[in-house]
């Protein structure tokens, strides 16, 4: 899998980090990411999906409800959050690749995390996300518009199709440690 450390620490620009990546590369990276998440959950049961981990650093400044700001996320919550973000990036990337102007808008739908309570639902959500992301890449023309871009703020990164898609994978990657820690705590709690 790609190591996003250099781009996160601003040691390399997103443009340089993504230079030369093809649609096939994006497909392969998508498979690697989904496979990694599924692998981390391989030994999980339904109880692990709703297990509330100890997370003293929990802070979601984007939470819709004030009571959820410091809520520790369950595994189901993390999975629906990461998949929604990556799918949003994939959808916007497809528009950019097709030459459609993007005006810093959102294209996001997140399954209510409270409804994801089983390992089967998590696996289905990840496989559905894989299918949606790969389908978005199938929307790219044979010769994608790789010069089309937008910025979310003045002076920010120029979001091209490849960069926008990779931001979704980077976001997934930023939650891998959280997934591993939730699974670790859940499995340990089951052994008690």
The structural domains of the chain, with segments of one domain joined by +, span: 22-191
pLDDT for 103 beyond 90: no
Whether residue 116 has pLDDT greater than 80: yes
pTM: 0.94
List, in sequence order, every residue forming a beta bridge with 150; answer none if it has no partner: 159
Q: Is the pLDDT of residue 73 over 80?
A: yes
Judge whether residue 135 has pLDDT over 80. yes
* Nearest alpha-carbon partner for 110 in 68, 132, 77: 77
Helix axes 23-40, 119-138, angle to 10 degrees: 180
Tell me: pLDDT of 192 over 80: yes
Give yes or no for residue 84 having a pLDDT over 70.
Answer: yes
Phi, psi of 159 (to 5 degrees): -80, 105
pLDDT of residue 18: 98
The listed CATH number (1.10.510.10, 3.30.40.10, 3.30.750.24, 1.20.120.450) that belongs to domain 22-191: 1.20.120.450
Percent of the chain with pLDDT over 70: 99
Summarize the confidence of residues 147-174 as an average pLDDT: 95
């Amino acid at each position: 899998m790609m190591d996003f450390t250099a781009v996160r620490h601003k040691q390399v620009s997103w443009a340089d980090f993504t230079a030369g990546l093809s649609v096939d590369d994006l497909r392969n990276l998508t498979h690697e990411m989904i496979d990694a998440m599924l692998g981390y959950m391989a030994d999980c049961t339904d109880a692990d999906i709703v297990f509330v981990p100890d997370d003293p650093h929990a802070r979601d400044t984007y939470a819709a409800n004030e009571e959820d700001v410091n809520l520790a996320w369950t595994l189901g919550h993390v999975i629906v959050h990461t998949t929604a973000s990556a799918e949003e990036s994939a959808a916007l990337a497809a528009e950019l690749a097709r030459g459609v102007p993007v005006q810093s808008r959102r294209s996001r739908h997140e399954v209510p995390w409270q409804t994801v309570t089983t390992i089967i639902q998590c696996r289905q959500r990840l496989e559905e996300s894989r299918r949606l992301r790969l389908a978005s890449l199938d929307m790219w023309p044979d010769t994608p518009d790789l010069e089309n871009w937008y910025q979310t703020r003045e002076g920010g990164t120029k979001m091209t199709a490849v960069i926008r898609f990779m931001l979704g994978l980077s976001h997934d990657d930023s939650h891998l440690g959280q997934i591993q820690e939730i699974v670790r705590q859940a499995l340990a709690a089951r052994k008690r």
